[in-house]
Amino acid sequence: MACQYDMAELCFHAAKPMGSQAAVDLNAVFRKGDRAWRVKGFYAGQGEYRVRFLPEETGVYQYEISGIVSDRGKITAEPARAGRHGPVRAKGIHLYHADGTPWVGLGTTIYAMLHQEEALIDETMDTLRHSPFTKVRLCLFPKHYHYNHNDPAHFAFLRNAQGEWDMDHPDFAFWDAFEKRLAEMDGMGIQADLILFHPYDRWRHSALTQKQNLAYLDYLIRRFAAYPNVWWSLANEYDLCPAKTMEDWYGIEEFVAKNDPFRHLLGNHNCFQPYDPSRENITHMSWQTKQISRIPEMQKRYGKPVLIDECCYEGNLPETWGSISGREMTARFWRTAVLGGYCTHGETFYPDEKEIVWWAKGGKLAGESPARIAFLRSVLESLPGPLRPRLTRLQRAAGMTDEQIKKLLSEPVTQQNIFTIAIARMGTGEISRFAAQESCFCGVCGPDDAPDAVIKYMDFNCCCKTDLELPDNGSYRVEVLDTWNMTRETVLTGVRGKQEIPLPGREWMAVLGVQETP
Amino acid sequence: MACQYDMAELCFHAAKPMGSQAAVDLNAVFRKGDRAWRVKGFYAGQGEYRVRFLPEETGVYQYEISGIVSDRGKITAEPARAGRHGPVRAKGIHLYHADGTPWVGLGTTIYAMLHQEEALIDETMDTLRHSPFTKVRLCLFPKHYHYNHNDPAHFAFLRNAQGEWDMDHPDFAFWDAFEKRLAEMDGMGIQADLILFHPYDRWRHSALTQKQNLAYLDYLIRRFAAYPNVWWSLANEYDLCPAKTMEDWYGIEEFVAKNDPFRHLLGNHNCFQPYDPSRENITHMSWQTKQISRIPEMQKRYGKPVLIDECCYEGNLPETWGSISGREMTARFWRTAVLGGYCTHGETFYPDEKEIVWWAKGGKLAGESPARIAFLRSVLESLPGPLRPRLTRLQRAAGMTDEQIKKLLSEPVTQQNIFTIAIARMGTGEISRFAAQESCFCGVCGPDDAPDAVIKYMDFNCCCKTDLELPDNGSYRVEVLDTWNMTRETVLTGVRGKQEIPLPGREWMAVLGVQETP
């Protein structure tokens, strides 16, 4: 039996491939009504061939298989099991499961989690199960870096007699183990943001030929593309990979997009210069940055979801990227979430000689932010829909074009327009830098003229009160949230219009107005 | 008897002026050797005329007075009294007293402090006396704004029969009271950064004619220019004054620079766009900004001292500009100081019905930052000289020109240059935004090849250790400072070269290496 949103698998036995064990001749077409999905099967070792499919609709799919194996038949996808919402897709600046449920996106980072010993991976999975995270960024290739000196038990491919990677020979033990964990994550509602390449390498995975790159991706996609929770992250820090040109990246991007029958999310993560999110195959901006206040600018520029896929890590490493406090990590999540972006966590406490650091290997979480991220998750899940930014006056000004500025500056200066004119005089570049320092973040969900919810995150400001601008119609409940102490308290009910809300004069507060259901 | 660095005053009695009581005909020339100072005297009321002079050298000055009063004579300036260092002047990116003592610049803001009742001013002066602050920013004209609704007892000028300001009639009670406080501040080693204009007004001081502006400044300069601790700040938020054009500001700037015989520091404070610090008369950048990490950029661009003359205020107001924590204020002071800039404090706790807020009216300080600023002062005073930035790799990259970037990008990419090339690919604008997010600040004093001191401020990073790069020669003592808990502990002595320094994994730490005297 197959189910909507679950991977369906057809299994065949035949003779071992004569040539490549990766690029086997096994092609399938699945048809439903006038639609068709072309899927390649893969060799799984021990004479076993598999064809995987992800039904996104209920009903009957006819299939036809050719190549090493010939077969035809049908699978019937029953309605999704309880709690199954399907793969995550981009729509505008937001991400939704296939069934329309907004994806509450709270990521974490465990780059080399599946290159560790079984017992440690078990511990990591257990930690994830009890964590708020709905996405993990993790690598296919192992990692060589500070605190990352161990070899994995298995690599994705075997070496040939010359000691070079042989893309015709997947190491099935690696792939079996990897996909077992993918399925576990899927069961836990966790998206696997699979990092296909990265520069932190001593095994020459980062310096394969482009032919080898594509051979690897071909096997990867045949094998993993039908997992509903898989995303493709072309790289971690694509721009720090000296062996790859931009043409190589475009080739990789094209290959993945073209070969994935299920159109999984496709991003590419930067160190410095973002990989161009306007490219057609790129579904979202996967941005390493501390410039969280620029999320609205990027949402507007690209019309795609903005994921802050690295914003430093909670910990105490000597490096600034690995030593922010739990408070700062929590704040970065709130800033991002209120603006309708999606933030990704990581944890980097200086390890003992076993060198187990969450951000690379997993294990247990020790930081202060995960509990607060769980609180944020509960708040986001209580909202009627995904948030988008409501810009402050300055943030709006930061979006002025050169033409708008020119027009403004031609107007006579008055008491009324002096503020805007003074901003305009800075010019676009300086306005944007100025606005980047704003420390109040506001988001709304629902229609512009009658939002279902308005949320204002006060960040490090210690205000004794604040204004919350609710619509002049409807009836709202107002809550004061302490994002650090994880409390929410209803302070007003049945109100509309601009409200003055008393606050305790501490950092990390938020104010939420939600439309009351009659 | 006159003293070097003290105001000298000549006093004459004569008939009341027939016309203007401000623009009186009273001119003096002071000569010493082949140098001459042209000074205008002023009318102080009650038939009293005064000529004020500021001797910056010891020795005999011949003077000659003409106009309403004629006189000639000499004054002899004795060596400076103990603890007197003379007016503050700019030299490169730093500020020094006239005798060469580096000015340890820690400002505060009390805009309308001298428009309050005597008892409150007394209290403010007492608070200042026990505070770490070495500068106060304060206005000549009273202030109308939130929590500022009281009229002062006296204005700088009287009104005419039509109720308009009459620049020919100073209100001597105002000037007498004002200068009494200037002198008190001088005695306390506090610079008075006099704000000449500002937009927060209900009395039309911000909308005088340019002729009135200059008449006011003429009297001001005659009267105050010989105070050693006076600075001229053309405005608070010059760019929010609708009644003044840029030409007006240039005229005001020119007038002050030309008429001040003692060349006091001259700045102009912005809300949005900084007043161009490259202008010849402008001695320093007086910058309202939260972009503290850009201090090195501005030091390099203008070659002048950079004063962060507003960086938000410690308090709990509803506005973001008035609600940062003591921790954040302290951090802004440290970031600025380590980069060789000069930061200015203010305090804005929501007041009771008496509306006494430090930032406008003075009174008592209630915040957590002043004690920490005092600690910072003790650290700065213990250093062998003023700090200047030692840039991180990224901060240096932020200074790349378009030409340098073009050259870099024409080089073949290697493992060695990938990092710099990846930065260069961002282009100057994005590099600078990226670098603005750096949260580690390093400063040095003394010669580049053998600095006397190296200080590294860790900001909000919670590192368990850090590297401190000391020169390979010499012998250094290393201290770990907790800038919040106000402790310093010597952790190494007699060391040189790169040192790994253990840290407690908390925020707000600093590491200091100082050359040991043999």
Cβ contact, residue pair A464, B350, below 8 Å: yes
Distance linking the first and last C-alpha atoms of chain B:
43
Nearest to A426 among B273, B319, B467 (CB): B273
Cβ contact, residue pair A241, B418, below 8 Å: yes
Cβ contact, residue pair B317, A464, below 8 Å: yes
Task: Give chain A positions within 8 Å (CB) of B323.
Answer: 461-464
Mutant choice from A323, A431, A442 vs B, greatest count of B C-beta within 10 A? A323
Strand pairing class (A314-315; A230-235)? unpaired
Give the residues across from B85 on adjacent strands: none
Structure tokens belonging to residue A360: 């690379």
Task: Give chain B positions within 8 Å (CB) of A271.
Answer: 422
Look at residues A207, A200, A231 and name the one whose alpha carbon lies nearest to residue A360. Answer: A200
Length of chain B: 518
d(CA A452, CA B115): 48
Structure tokens belonging to residue B189: 């080693």
Cβ contact, residue pair B461, A437, below 8 Å: no
3-state SS class at B142? coil
Task: Give chain A positions within 8 Å (CB) of B301.
Answer: none
d(CA A456, CA B63): 66
Cβ contact, residue pair A463, B317, below 8 Å: yes
Ordered per-residue pLDDT tens for chain B, 518 residues = 799 999 999 999 999 999 999 999 999 999 999 999 999 999 999 999 999 999 999 999 999 999 999 999 999 999 999 999 999 999 999 999 999 999 999 999 999 999 999 999 999 999 999 999 999 999 999 999 999 999 999 999 999 999 999 999 999 999 999 999 999 999 999 999 999 999 999 999 999 999 999 999 999 999 999 999 999 999 999 999 999 999 999 999 999 999 999 999 999 999 999 999 999 999 999 999 999 999 999 999 999 999 999 999 999 999 999 999 999 999 999 999 999 999 999 999 999 999 999 999 999 999 999 999 999 999 999 999 999 999 988 888 888 899 999 999 999 999 999 999 999 999 988 998 998 898 889 999 998 888 999 999 999 999 999 999 999 999 999 999 999 999 999 999 999 999 999 999 999 999 999 999 87
Nearest to A462 among B323, B438, B462 (CB): B323
Nearest to A291 among B272, B328, B433 (CB): B433
Residue B232, CB half-sphere, CA atoms under 13 Å: how many? 26
Min Cα–Cα distance to chain B from A483, Å: 17
Cβ contact, residue pair B316, A464, below 8 Å: yes
Quote ipTM for the complex. Answer: 0.95
Cβ contact, residue pair B316, A440, below 8 Å: no
Size of interface A-B (CB pairs under 8 A): 125
Phi, psi at residue A80, to the nearest 5°? Answer: -55, 140
Structure tokens belonging to residue B166: 């009459």
Mutant choice from A244, A272, A423 vs B, greatest count of B C-beta within 10 A? A272
Number of helices and strands (H, E) in chain B? 12, 30
Min Cα–Cα distance to chain A from B159, Å: 24
**CB A192 within 8 Å of CB A136:** yes
Helices (H), A137-209: 172-187
